[in-house]
């Protein structure tokens, strides 16, 4: 069903509800269409930059849930008075299309709408007060991906410098096919009580890329990212992995393998690594 057809159906549904209200002697609520062409994130360099992949906007009208919409989106509201809307940023966490959640670290966006008047909203989200960045690497002044675990000097991450952005790049070859590295972050005071703890990163890869963690001496790979044709933002929920443990040393791990589909080299790019949680 096209967006045009959906809008038509929504209009007739709203009109029928208005007519029912009139027949019952009630004041007919105004049909108000809300349009959300897109969203944005406002984040400073100290917060690791403003890349985002907000896939849905969860809408509440006077605290009542209206629905979750994928921008660009348009939907009707039945309003009898000025109404406070609160919009929350939704993400597809763990690189899974079915794992949709409100991202706990972004503030909601609030606006008041007027009955009957078309509303065009451009929500701009920010990080909440009390958010702590346990580690950030945008590869502008260093390279946290410096611990080589595979023992091959050809399969390491180095910094690619461009005029407007630096990022980390690694290469796997048919004859140097395995990559495994670990970060070298100085991290302390990680939450182990179930509070949200996420990894954010942007990646662009010609082959599968696995994300792992090491806490103290225990290491495990949790997630595999598929190859993609452009930069992709990923939000990885690590809360359960940290729960209940006293962690003295925590690091990220990345692992990749040349997939053998070509004789050419395959590239892996990473940028904007963030480890995010709430302050104690």
- Render pLDDT for 28-50 as a digit per residue (tens, 0 to 9): 677 899 999 999 999 999 999 99
Range of the domain at 79: 3-126
The Cα 177–Cα 45 span in angstroms is 35
Give the number of other Cβ atoms within 10 Å of residue 189's Cβ.
11
| 195-208 pLDDT, tens digit each | 999 999 999 999 99
Which tens digit of pLDDT belongs to each residue from 166-192?
A: 999 999 999 999 999 999 999 888 888
Summarised one tens digit per residue, pLDDT across range 52-79 is 999 999 999 999 999 999 999 999 999 9
Residue that finishes a domain, picked among 126, 149, 183: 126
Q: CA–CA distance from 37 to each of 74, 120, 122, 198 (Å)?
A: 8, 8, 7, 27
Q: Are strands 30-36 and 73-79 parallel, antiparallel or unpaired?
A: antiparallel
**Three-state secondary structure call for residue 19:** helix
Please list, in sequence order, all residues whose beta carbon lies within 8 angstroms of the beta carbon of residue 269, skipping any fewer than 6 positions away. 160, 167, 168, 169, 203, 204, 205, 231
Q: Based on the domain organization, do 115 and 136 belong to the same domain?
A: no
Instruction: Tell me how far apart the alpha carbons of residues 47 and 28 are, in angstroms, rounded to a whole number.
Output: 47
| 43 and 84 part of one domain | yes
- Indicate if 135 and 271 belong to the same structural domain: yes
* Residue found by looking up tokens 């690694």 in the block: 170
- 201: Cβ contacts below 8 Å, ≥ 6 apart: 211, 233, 234, 236, 270, 271, 272, 273, 274
Q: Please check whether residues 259 and 205 belong to one and the same domain.
A: yes
Mean pLDDT of the chain: 90
* 80 and 164 co-located in one domain: no
Domain ends where: 126, 150, 178?
126
The answer to whether residues 146 and 253 belong to one domain is yes
One domain, residues 138 and 265: yes
For the entire predicted model, the pTM comes to 0.87
SS3 label, residue 179: strand
Complete DSSP assignment for 156-172: --EEEE-SS-EEEEEEE
Check whether residue 141 and residue 264 sit in a common domain: yes
In terms of domains, do 178 and 205 share one?
yes
CATH, residue 214: 2.60.120.260
Domain final position from 110, 126, 142: 126
Chain segment 221-256, per-residue pLDDT in tens: 999 999 999 999 999 999 988 888 788 899 999 999
Q: What percent of the chain has pLDDT over 90?
A: 78
Residues 137 and 274 reside in one and the same domain: yes
Clarify whether residues 17 and 67 are in a common domain. Answer: yes
CATH of the domain at 73: 2.60.40
Whether the Cβ atoms of residue 274 and residue 201 lie closer than 8 Å to each other: yes
Whole-angstrom distance, CA of residue 198 vs CA of residue 236: 5
Residues 56 and 187 in one domain: no
Number of structural domains found in the chain: 2
> Going by DSSP bridges, is the β-strand pair 166-172/232-237 parallel, antiparallel, or unpaired?
unpaired
Question: Using one digit for the tens of pLDDT, what is the confidence trace for 106-124?
Answer: 999 999 999 988 899 999 9
190 and 134 in contact (C-beta within 8 Å)? yes
């Amino acid at each position: 069903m096209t967006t045009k057809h959906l809008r038509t159906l929504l209009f007739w549904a709203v009109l029928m509800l208005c007519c029912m209200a009139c027949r019952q002697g009630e004041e007919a609520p105004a049909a108000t269409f809300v349009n959300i062409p897109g969203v944005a994130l406002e984040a400073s360099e100290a917060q690791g930059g403003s890349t985002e992949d907000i896939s849905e906007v969860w809408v509440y009208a006077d605290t009542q849930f209206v629905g979750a919409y994928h921008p660009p989106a348009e939907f009707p509201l039945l309003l009898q008075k000025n109404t406070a809307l609160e919009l929350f940023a939704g993400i597809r966490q763990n690189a899974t299309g079915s794992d949709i959640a409100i991202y706990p670290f972004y503030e909601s966006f609030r606006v008041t709408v007027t009955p009957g008047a078309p509303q065009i909203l451009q929500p701009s989200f920010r990080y909440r007060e009390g958010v702590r960045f346990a580690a950030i690497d945008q590869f502008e002044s260093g390279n946290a991906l410096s611990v080589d675990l595979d023992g091959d000097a050809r399969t390491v991450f180095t910094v690619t410098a461009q005029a407007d952005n630096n990022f980390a790049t690694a290469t796997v070859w048919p004859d140097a096919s395995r990559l495994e590295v670990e970060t070298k972050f100085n991290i302390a005071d990680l939450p182990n009580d179930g509070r949200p703890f996420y990894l954010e990163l942007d990646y662009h890869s010609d082959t599968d890329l696995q994300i792992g963690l090491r806490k103290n001496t225990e290491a495990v790979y949790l997630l595999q990212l598929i190859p993609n044709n452009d930069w992709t933002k990923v939000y990885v929920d690590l809360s359960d992995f940290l729960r209940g443990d006293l962690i003295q040393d925590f690091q990220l791990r990345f692992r990749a393998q040349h997939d053998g589909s070509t004789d050419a080299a395959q590239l892996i790019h990473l940028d904007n690594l963030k480890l995010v949680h709430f302050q104690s």
